[in-house]
Amino acid sequence: MQNQMSRDQLRLVVTEVTCEAYDILRIELRARDQGALPAFEAGAHLELQLPGAMARHYSLCNDPADRDRYCIAVGRMREGRGGSTHIHQHVRVGMELVTSSPRNNFPLDQSNAPCVFIAGGIGITPILSMIQACEGRGRPWTLHYAVRSRQRAAFYEVLSNNFADRCHFHFDDEAGGAPMAAAGIVAQTPQEAHIYCCGPTPLMEAVKEAAVDRTPESVHFEWFSAPDLPSAPEKAFDVVVASTGACYPVPPGKSILQVLEAHGALVPAACREGLCATCRTGVLEGTPEHRDCVLTQAERDANDQMLICVSRALSDRIVLDL
């Protein structure tokens, strides 16, 4: 098993840094030779490598038709783990950043059904790229965007000036602190439409609860942090590495990833929360207990892949394609 992270690394130059809204920076990245970059689809993200072995994921917010640049927007999380603060304090025009190629765990479906976008705060970033993709295809869409105040609304001018008839803004401070009525939005959404939601956990949970009776394939989420799962006892099981036949016990309280790393395996991993899919691994035998926020219901039902940073096994033994 070898670390595959370096295979898709890019070295990009910061060509523009602008203040998009209060505590939000928009950063443009290009190749040093200004050449074409790997293509991406709406909903994709980059993994940025930061000092101190920090890896952070940021959604691309520009038009997927752009081939010469990537744009991200970084909200400063003052109570976060330090990645966004480093970017706000140190990233400047002319610097070189190491990133992954674009990865997509939040793609637009390929139909022409109407899209209803529900965004909260910095969750507007992948949604903005999706809006531009829909415009390019002539696909109908509507946006519901909640932020604490107008000053914190990223891309407010672009959205309000160009798409005022399809954008509905909710500013908490102008609504007396009341949250956006996510349940009402979902209830008014036609059954044939697809819902895409990205934002803080309370908003995501509200949309998820309201959409429980909708077709699972028509409701899509991009989580910033892993939602709380119902507590359940964990049982021990064995993980087998198919390429070597090595078998290791995975005790309660330890992830498959932690056990493999303890035995010297170099497995690509980043968030360790089941959010980024960097550690997505094929399953050859056994039944996973899926605990991630990435795989679709169809992918879960297939049981041929899992995110080994959080997911476990329902079977006594699971064989991984490593």
Cβ atoms of 260 and 239 closer than 8 Å? yes
pTM for the model? 0.83
Residues of the chain with pLDDT below 50 are 1-6
pLDDT at 5: 39
pLDDT at 231: 67
Cβ atoms of 317 and 238 closer than 8 Å? yes
d(CA 124, CA 153): 9
Q: What is the pLDDT of residues 252-295, one digit of tens each?
A: 999 999 999 999 988 888 788 888 888 999 999 999 999 998 89
Residue 277, classed as helix, strand or coil, is coil
d(CA 70, CA 143): 23
Q: Which stretches of the chain are DSSP H helices?
A: 83-90, 124-137, 156-162, 182-188, 201-210, 256-262, 297-302
pLDDT at 83: 84
**What kind of architecture, by CATH, is found in domain 5-100?**
Beta Barrel (2.40)
pLDDT at 3: 36
Q: What is the pLDDT of residues 184-196, one digit of tens each?
A: 999 999 999 999 9
> 311, 257, 310: which is closest to 286 by C-alpha?
311
Task: Kindly indicate whether the domain formed by 115-223 is annotated with CATH number 3.40.50.80.
Answer: yes
Backbone φ and ψ of 103, nearest 5°: -125, 150
User: What superfamily would CATH give domain 237-320?
Assistant: Beta-grasp domain (3.10.20.30)
Domain-by-domain residue ranges, the chain?
5-100, 115-223, 237-320
